[in-house]
């Protein structure tokens, strides 16, 4: 039942948003909940030293930063300083190439 709900929510998100945004958000949510579950169920951080915990937190912050940057640049279309043409963002170009295949 839980899997059906997850698939339904992901399909709704894919209908509303770009795949380049939905996939990283799903990845961050999965990673966040996995870390939380390991802390609660296995007391994972009890057996780790400080450097291991810091490296996990840094990796998690890196994932969050990447997802934040994707959200900030998903609709970014800058105006060139020399002309009035719009430059599409790399995320938009990647989604256009994927849909052409």
Q: What is the pLDDT of residues 53-98, one digit of tens each?
A: 899 899 989 988 988 887 788 777 654 444 444 555 555 555 555 5
pLDDT of residue 92: 53
pLDDT of residue 81: 46
Domain ranges of the chain: 1-75
pLDDT of residue 83: 47
Secondary structure of the chain as H, E, C letters: CHHHHHHHHHHHHHHHCCHHHHHHHHHHHHHHHHHHHHHHHHCHHHHCCHHHHHHHHHHHHHHHHHHHHHHHHCCCCEECCCCCCEECCHHHHHHHHHHHC
Find the mean pLDDT for residues 19-43.
Answer: 86
Average pLDDT, the chain: 78
Find the mean pLDDT for residues 21-38.
Answer: 86
* Claim: this prediction has a pTM higher than 0.85: no
pLDDT of residue 49: 92
């Amino acid at each position: 039942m839980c899997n059906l709900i997850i698939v339904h929510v992901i399909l709704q998100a894919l209908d509303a948003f770009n795949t380049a945004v939905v996939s990283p958000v799903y990845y961050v949510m999965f990673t966040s909940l996995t870390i939380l579950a390991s802390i609660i169920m296995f007391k994972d951080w009890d057996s780790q030293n400080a450097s291991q915990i810091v490296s996990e937190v840094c990796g998690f912050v890196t994932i969050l930063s990447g997802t934040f940057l994707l959200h900030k640049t998903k609709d970014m279309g800058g105006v060139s300083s020399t002309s009035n043409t719009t430059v599409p963002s790399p995320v938009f170009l990647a989604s256009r190439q994927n849909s052409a295949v």
